[in-house]
Amino acid sequence: MEPTIANSTLPVARPLWDNARLSSRIVHLGCGAFHRAHQALYTHHLLEQSDSDWGICEVNLMPGNDQTLIENLKKQNLLYTVAEKGAQRTELKIIGSMKEALHPAIDGCAGILAAMAREQTAIVSLTVTEKGYCTEAASGELDLNNPLIQHDLAHPDQPKSAIGYIVEALRLRREQGLKAFTVMSCDNVRENGHVARAAVLGLAKARDAALADWIETHVTFPCTMVDRIVPAATAETLDDIAGQLGVYDPCAIACEPFRQWVIEDNFVNGRPEWDRVGAQFVADVVPFEMMKLRMLNGSHSFLAYLGYLGGYETIAETMTNPDYRNAALALMLREQAPTLAMPQGTDLEAYAHLLIERFSNPSLRHRTWQIAMDGSQKLPQRMLDPIRRHLADGHDWSHLALGVAGWMRYVAGVDEHGNAIEVVDPLLADYQAIDASASAEQRVQALLGLSAIFGQDLPANPAFVSAVVAALQQLNASGARAAVAALNR
């Protein structure tokens, strides 16, 4: 079927407002699945319930599918479908919060920079994944040796990285005497506003100290906590949505009904009233962020590595195994929750059980392989930082040890049946340089040499090394399912 969502009579309510009402007051870098099902959806609901004019100028920077998505959005008058799939029913929504959609291959770097430098642009937001910030995982500082950053330093008016675009756009605004915009990260990264700030200031300082000083004085980088399970769209997902919608929408996305957005209220040039449609503005996002990163994301990674190795394609399938279900709950309550400092009244036990319910939703096909991507960027904040707390306090962390070992076993690139694993990670070449047939102890020592992941402290800690070696030996000897089952005994 052709993508005719923009011209068809659909069995789903279309936006009631004229797109002309919208102003591109937000430029968003990274129009991926999560953004379309989260920030763009919140903005859509605000447009439904108010006379807001906050529209989004969508930008994708990578070639291939990123460019195709922008082309398809343009064909559909910037409309697309979100399917909220609960265990019992699915609700379709046609989203109309987009005002523009840009890509450097279509609009040029200059066109994107011009949009970011327009006076009306008040917020530049990002969902570019951990690796899109071009920072070192261990230090948090900008990696000046990153090829994208090196290119952007050599060709600042033709940037390739999201950070390069932001710095050059802010330079243009400063030069034109315009007010700065807020840089708002919406990625699942610990203290994402601080990460964005370190990256932007790091590049600005490498370019021009005066520009860096101006950014430090005039730009804010609020932290956010975002939560919604949004699997990558597959052909099966799109066909399923088309069957309910009546037309084929190549930009459609499926997600769970649950959504949460906690935002540090720190904006320099205005913001939408997202709190009218369920978002929460707070003074300090960090406790909520840590709760989500450790309890949800940490258990997701645990299930992704050990679930994939155990032969499970999706998270929901792992939840059909009582051993995995019980281990995930125990990980959250025994090893992650005790490392958190939450505001009074926060019920972490209820939150853990809600997460188990969400993970068990059979309507979502959230692939373990997808969650396992980019583990080098995720492991430090999801598992290694809590382990550091347990090592200092002398508490048990056996579930986390098996999670780390599961990652080490997964990045060897071969599953338990001898089949190749398509490992997707910025450090893939480093993993491939390590002998996959090495002993567990040799493999642990080699991987611990990746200081960008483990820092200098963990490899030097005998308790950490011995626990991970023992967990990897168990995985190699008995397999993932038996190793997970042993945790529950």
Question: Residues 131, 88: contact at Cβ < 8 Å?
Answer: no
- The whole-number pLDDT of residue 435 equals 87
Q: Nearest CA to 97 among 169, 163, 49?
A: 49
CA 216 to mean position of chain CA atoms: 25
Listed in order, the ranges of the chain carrying CATH 1.10.1040.10 are: 286-488
- The whole-number pLDDT of residue 3 equals 43
Q: In which band, very low, low, confident or very high, does the pLDDT at 436 lie, cut at 50, 70 and 90?
A: confident
Lowest mean pLDDT among 229-238, 264-273, 391-400: 229-238
Q: Cα–Cα distance between 90 and 83 in angstroms, integer?
A: 6
Listed in order, the ranges of the chain carrying CATH 3.40.50.720 are: 19-282
Q: Nearest CA to 488 among 332, 329, 307, 350?
A: 329
- The whole-number pLDDT of residue 10 equals 62
- The whole-number pLDDT of residue 480 equals 98
The three state secondary structure string of the chain is CCCCCCCCCCCCCCCCCCHHHCEEEEEEECCCHHHHHCHHHHHHHHHHHCCCCEEEEEECCCCCHHHHHHHHHHHCCCCEEEEEECCCCEEEEEECCEEEEECHHHHHHHHHHHHHHCCCCCEEEECCCHHHHCECCCCCCECCCCHHHHHHHHCCCCCCCHHHHHHHHHHHHHHHCCCCCEEEECCCCCCHHHHHHHHHHHHHHHHCHHHHHHHHHHCCCCCEEEECCCCCCCHHHHHHHHHHHCCCCCCCEEECCCCEEEEECCCCCCCCCHHHHCCEEECCCHHHHHHHHHHHHHHHHHHHHHHHHCCCCEHHHHCCCHHHHHHHHHHHHHHHHHHCCCCCCCCHHHHHHHHHHHHCCCCCCCEHHHHCCCHHHHHHHHHHHHHHHHHHHCCCCHHHHHHHHHHHHHCCCECCCCCECCCCCCCHHHHHCCCCCCCHHHHHHHHHCCHHHHCCCHHHCHHHHHHHHHHHHHHHHHCHHHHHHHHHC
Model confidence over 311-366: pLDDT tens digits? 999 999 999 999 999 999 999 999 999 999 998 899 999 999 999 999 999 988 88
Q: Under CATH, to which class is 286-488 assigned?
A: mainly alpha
Percentage of the chain lying above the pLDDT 90 cut: 90
Architecture of the domain defined by 19-282: 3-Layer(aba) Sandwich (3.40)
Model confidence over 53-104: pLDDT tens digits? 999 999 999 999 999 999 999 999 999 999 999 988 999 999 999 999 999 9
Q: Cα–Cα distance between 302 and 46 in angstroms, integer?
A: 36
Q: Cα–Cα distance between 259 and 228 in angstroms, integer?
A: 5
Higher pLDDT: 140 or 214? It is 214
Question: Quick one: average pLDDT of 431-457?
Answer: 93
Query: What residue has token string 């373990």?
Result: 368
Q: Is the pLDDT of residue 263 over 60?
A: yes
